[in-house]
Amino acid sequence: MTEQAADASAPATPGPGGPHEPIRVLVVDDHALFRRGLEMVLGQESDIEVVGEAGDGAEAVELASALLPDIVLMDVRMPRRSGIEACTAIKDVVPSAKIVMLTISDDEADLYDAIKAGASGYLLKEISIDEVAAAIRSVAGGQSLISPSMASKLLTEFATMIKKGDEKQQVPVPRLTDRELEVLKLVARGLNNRDIAKELFISENTVKNHIRNILEKLQLHSRMEAVVYAVREKLLEIT
């Protein structure tokens, strides 16, 4: 694999319910062997529990509603109901669930649609399966994950959208500080909180505060939504 989705050497993030509760994961993929492989690997992690598996998007929505997982690992393209459609439905019935798309699809449109549907991460299946646990911990800890190569594609897509003039500014844009714009640019490059802190020589807590302020000002819910908004409104320059 050429891209690191998360730092596997990073300390484990406690489960959402507390330091002794495992992170509850629902695995969704139409390939049974891939599901079994994920279950075997994640089953070795003491802080992660696979609570269920589904073979398509429709089954994923039903199980998510019944099991209330913390994290849903889901493919984008599946029969009966796509991962994108399932993502939207799961966020409606289990708002607390965080969804990570783990897929072979590097299509910019799939990535963009996944973010709009509420996904907290978008990782290619070329990722080492051992790194999936680190990605789950990262998302459970409040990070948004996207591989650098996909982040680049996403920003290219946004730049094209802007050039076509598909989106026009309708209301005054909330003013972000210079530091908030710096943080947003690094988020757009696919950096996590720890890397942003190192880049700007500030603490991770300060980074979290900046991101919270950005989301509040823009009235958005996730880091990647903020990047979408900022590029669309030309707050960020994409070259």
Summarize pLDDT for 98-136 with one digit per residue, the tens. Answer: 999 888 877 767 877 888 888 888 888 877 767 888 889
pLDDT of residue 167: 47
Can you tell me whether residue 132 is helix, strand or coil? helix
3-state secondary structure of 135: helix
Per CATH, the number for 23-146 is 3.40.50.2300
State the span(s) of the chain assigned CATH 1.10.10.10: 153-232
Could you identify the residue written with the tokens 């994108």? Answer: 84
Instruction: Count CB atoms within 10 A of the CB of residue 18.
Output: 7
CATH architecture type of domain 153-232: Orthogonal Bundle (1.10)
Q: What percent of the chain has pLDDT over 90?
A: 32
62-95 pLDDT, tens digit each = 999 999 999 999 998 887 788 889 999 999 999 9
pLDDT in tens, 198-221: 999 999 999 999 998 998 888 887
H helix runs in the chain, sequence order: 32-42, 57-67, 83-93, 108-116, 132-140, 148-164, 178-188, 193-200, 204-218, 223-232
CA separation for the pair 109, 197 (Å, rounded): 30
pLDDT (mean) for 28-45: 91
Residue predicted with more confidence, 156 or 132: 132
Other beta carbons within 10 angstroms of residue 54's beta carbon come to 23
Range(s) within the chain of domains with CATH label 3.40.50.2300: 23-146
At residue 158 the predicted structure's pLDDT band, cuts being 50, 70 and 90, is low
- Per-residue pLDDT tens digits for 169-197: 455 567 888 899 899 888 877 788 889 99
Q: Is the pLDDT of residue 153 over 80?
A: no
The pLDDT of residue 189 is 77
